[in-house]
């Protein structure tokens, strides 16, 4: 009989690290993560330990399954639930309470088991539900490894380096990023709409300290471990796909908990026009004390595929247990609801096989999120291809992906293309849907990578002042007394070969090419380092040829090398 455990606690408790150790100690195992990015990140960790031929990656858009793979890193949705393995681990199990994806996590909670051991990771708010639904479960709770302290309001312009500023809309993210660029030199961007490759590149920009600020949506809250000392909230409400609502205290804690890693303490607070966080919520976050989850989302998995109507009926059957509730229609159920009203689809679905195929098509992920009807029409088109031709035509796939194979456009255009290519990447993972699926999958992945790189470059170009960030990097991290790469006899100063300005006499002058908003920032950052050159300049002045000095008798000014250095006054 399998042993069932839960390792629960706030962020920064080492839960995932412990779980991976446990996973790899068994001869075989599967771990499910809430994000494709986390599945890929931990797949790479597992490969370093067990070797590429022994580890598989399974997400909706990517499958790397070597013939002898024994350990699998997956997204929770894509977990191969029928493969017998020694251990099964599910991360962020409290997402059973998520209205959109909760039913999938609940299914894994109730039905996914390893032969010898099953482990659930997540927040301790899920404890009452676990005890009710899995009476034999062994629960371990873990304390946070460092403290998390609220420090109130800080002006945007006064936020410290190594800080993440959290907003909840693209408009807010862009506006803050523009301000941070003007005031601080630049920032990295983290949003859920970014591809994993773009997100990794942006994280690397921040982790390498090329920029000291991170502007993020709540996408930062789910398992992204970065060198963040402080989290600053711009807002405490968000649009959840149906309505604007205030963040739950546990959601604030999940995001704020990204500050401080390991034994290093972290802080969180508010900025801009963010409303005050109440003392009650602050106390709950600092002490990791939240109301327990009382109900989780569930969907019937014992389905009747006699026809689309019976399928829909069984999918929407309520649970007999009061802890299990049916939520809003998820994307796949919305697609089915739309398509069972379509006369052509209903007339075709006359067998169990065709109804099962329709349901599989309804589960094509909606990455574009334009409208439910728009995505349902894509699902219908794929279904008709499969029914009438037995596969998705290659010329149609080629036409669709080549329309996306363009790197021009603004940030939002590139993100829309990325969302679209992810749909075709998903389709090409289906061997029974696409002939030469491996070839077409490689084509979609290549386009996704090119678009991701173009998006990263656009984000850097728009939100990073390269001249300023290079200057900050050198001034902040140089171990030498002289932070500059070179200073010529003419007083020209360069950093990494880039001309930054010159010393004329005892004054530092910026070139005209530096924009107005950069000038005060650069001068502020560079003044202390300029002082290190004053003794050198004094020595030059003392030993210079007399011909280099002139006196303007009318203005009573002494110049050295044509630069004013002193004024004559009557003594």
Say what percent of the chain tops pLDDT 90: 68
Does 435 fall in a domain?
yes
**Domain check: are 21 and 126 in the same one?**
yes
Average pLDDT over residues 172-194: 91
How many domains does the structure of the chain reveal?
A: 4
Does 268 fall in a domain?
yes
φ, ψ of residue 113 in degrees (nearest 5): -140, 140
pLDDT digits (tens, 9 = 90+) for 494-511: 766 667 777 777 777 777
**Domain check: are 449 and 364 in the same one?**
yes
User: Is the pLDDT higher at 537 or at 250?
Assistant: 250
Name the pLDDT band for 479 (thresholds 50, 70, 90): very low
Average pLDDT over residues 46-71: 95
Greatest Cα-to-Cα distance within the chain, rounded to the nearest angstrom: 109
**Domain check: are 171 and 258 in the same one?**
yes
Does 194 fall in a domain?
yes
**Domain check: are 455 and 547 in the same one?**
no
**Domain check: are 277 and 170 in the same one?**
yes
User: The domain containing residue 94 runs over which residues?
Assistant: 3-141
**Domain check: are 112 and 33 in the same one?**
yes
For the chain, what is the total number of helices (H) and then of strands (E)? 19, 25
Q: Please say if the pLDDT value at position 221 is more than 90.
A: no
Does 299 fall in a domain?
no
Helix (H, G, I), strand (E, B) or coil at 235: coil
Q: Please say if the pLDDT value at position 484 is more than 60.
A: no
Does 304 fall in a domain?
no
DSSP 176-231: HHHHHHHHHSB-EEE-TTS-HHHHHHHHHHHHTTS-SEEEE-GGGGTT-----SEE
Query: pTM for the complete prediction?
Result: 0.83
Angle CA 160–268–167, to nearest 5: 85
**Contact by Cβ (8 Å): 300, 279:** no
Name the pLDDT band for 475 (thresholds 50, 70, 90): low
Q: Decide which of 459, 492, 524 is a domain's last residue.
A: 459
**Domain check: are 318 and 177 in the same one?**
no
Domain containing residue 212: CATH number: 3.40.50.300
φ, ψ of residue 508 in degrees (nearest 5): -95, 130
How many other C-beta atoms can be found within 10 angstroms of the C-beta atom of residue 167? 25
**Domain check: are 130 and 163 in the same one?**
no
Q: Which of 403, 533, 525, 396 is nearest to 472 (CA)?
A: 525
**Domain check: are 42 and 24 in the same one?**
yes
Helix/strand/coil percent split, the chain, to 5? 45, 20, 35
Instruction: Supply the Cα-derived Rg of the chain in whole angstroms.
Output: 29
**For strand 296-297 and strand 324-325, is the pairing parallel, antiparallel, or unpaired?**
parallel
Q: Please say if the pLDDT value at position 424 is more than 60.
A: yes
Q: Decide which of 432, 459, 486 is a domain's last residue.
A: 459
Name the pLDDT band for 480 (thresholds 50, 70, 90): very low
Q: Please say if the pLDDT value at position 482 is more than 60.
A: no
Does 337 fall in a domain?
yes
Does 293 fall in a domain?
no
Does 298 fall in a domain?
no
Q: Decide which of 430, 459, 488 is a domain's last residue.
A: 459
**Domain check: are 454 and 314 in the same one?**
yes
The terminus-to-terminus CA distance of the chain in angstroms comes to: 100
**Domain check: are 203 and 229 in the same one?**
yes
Name the pLDDT band for 328 (thresholds 50, 70, 90): confident
**Domain check: are 59 and 94 in the same one?**
yes
Instruction: Give the pLDDT score at 561.
Output: 82
């Amino acid at each position: 009989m399998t042993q069932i455990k839960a390792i629960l606690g706030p962020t920064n408790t080492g839960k995932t690290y412990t779980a991976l150790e446990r996973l790899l100690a068994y001869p075989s195992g599967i771990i499910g993560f809430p994000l494709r990015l986390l599945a890929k990140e931990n797949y790479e960790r597992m490969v370093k330990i067990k070797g590429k031929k022994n580890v598989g990656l399974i997400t909706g858009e990517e499958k790397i399954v070597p013939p002898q793979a024994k350990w699998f890193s997956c997204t929770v949705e894509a977990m191969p639930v029928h493969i017998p393995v020694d251990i099964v681990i599910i991360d962020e199990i409290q997402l059973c309470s998520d209205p959109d994806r909760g039913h999938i996590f609940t299914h894994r909670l109730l039905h996914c088991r390893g032969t010898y051991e099953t482990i659930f990771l997540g927040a301790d708010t899920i404890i009452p539900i676990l005890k009710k639904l899995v009476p034999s479960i062994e629960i371990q709770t873990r304390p946070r490894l460092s403290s998390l302290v609220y420090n109130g309001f800080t002006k945007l312009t006064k936020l410290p380096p190594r800080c993440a500023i959290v907003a909840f809309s693209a408009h807010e993210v862009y506006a803050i990023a523009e301000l941070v660029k003007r005031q601080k030199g630049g920032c990295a961007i983290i949003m859920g709409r970014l591809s994993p490759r773009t997100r990794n590149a942006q994280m690397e920009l921040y982790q390498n300290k090329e920029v000291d600020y991170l502007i993020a949506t709540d996408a930062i809250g789910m398992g992204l471990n970065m060198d963040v000392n402080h989290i600053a909230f711009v807002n405490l409400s968000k649009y959840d796909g149906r309505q604007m609502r205030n963040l739950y205290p546990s959601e604030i804690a999940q995001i704020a908990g990204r500050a401080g890693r390991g034994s290093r303490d972290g802080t969180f607070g508010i900025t801009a026009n963010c409303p005050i966080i109440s003392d009650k919520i602050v106390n709950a976050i600092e002490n990791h004390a939240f109301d327990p989850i009382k109900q989780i989302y569930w969907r019937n998995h014992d389905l009747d595929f006699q026809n689309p109507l019976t399928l829909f009926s069984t999918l929407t059957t309520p649970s007999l247990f009061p802890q299990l509730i049916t939520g809003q229609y998820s994307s796949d159920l919305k697609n089915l609801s739309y398509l069972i009203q379509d006369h052509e689809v209903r007339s075709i679905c006359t067998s169990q096989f065709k109804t099962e195929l329709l349901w599989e098509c309804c589960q094509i992920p909606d990455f574009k999120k334009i409208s439910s009807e728009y995505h349902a029409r894509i699902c219908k088109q794929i279904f008709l291809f499969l029914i009438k031709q037995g596969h998705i035509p290659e010329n149609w796939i080629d036409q669709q992906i080549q329309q996306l194979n363009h790197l021009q456009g603004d940030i939002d255009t590139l993100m829309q293309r990325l969302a679209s290519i992810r749909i075709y990447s998903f389709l090409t993972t289906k061997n029974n849907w696409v002939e030469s699926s491996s070839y077409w999958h490689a084509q979609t992945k290549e386009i996704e990578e090119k678009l991701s790189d173009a998006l990263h470059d656009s984000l850097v170009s728009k939100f990073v002042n390269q001249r300023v960030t290079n200057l900050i990097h050198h001034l902040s991290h140089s171990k030498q007394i002289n932070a500059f790469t070179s200073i010529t006899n003419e007083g020209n100063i360069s950093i990494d070969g880039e001309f930054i300005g010159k010393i004329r006499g005892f004054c530092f002058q910026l070139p005209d090419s530096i924009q107005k908003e950069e000038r005060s920032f650069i001068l502020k950052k560079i003044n202390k380092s300029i002082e290190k050159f004053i003794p050198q300049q004094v020595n030059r002045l003392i030993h210079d040829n007399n011909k280099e000095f002139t006196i303007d008798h009318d203005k009573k000014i002494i110049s050295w090398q044509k630069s004013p250095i002193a004024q004559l006054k009557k003594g």
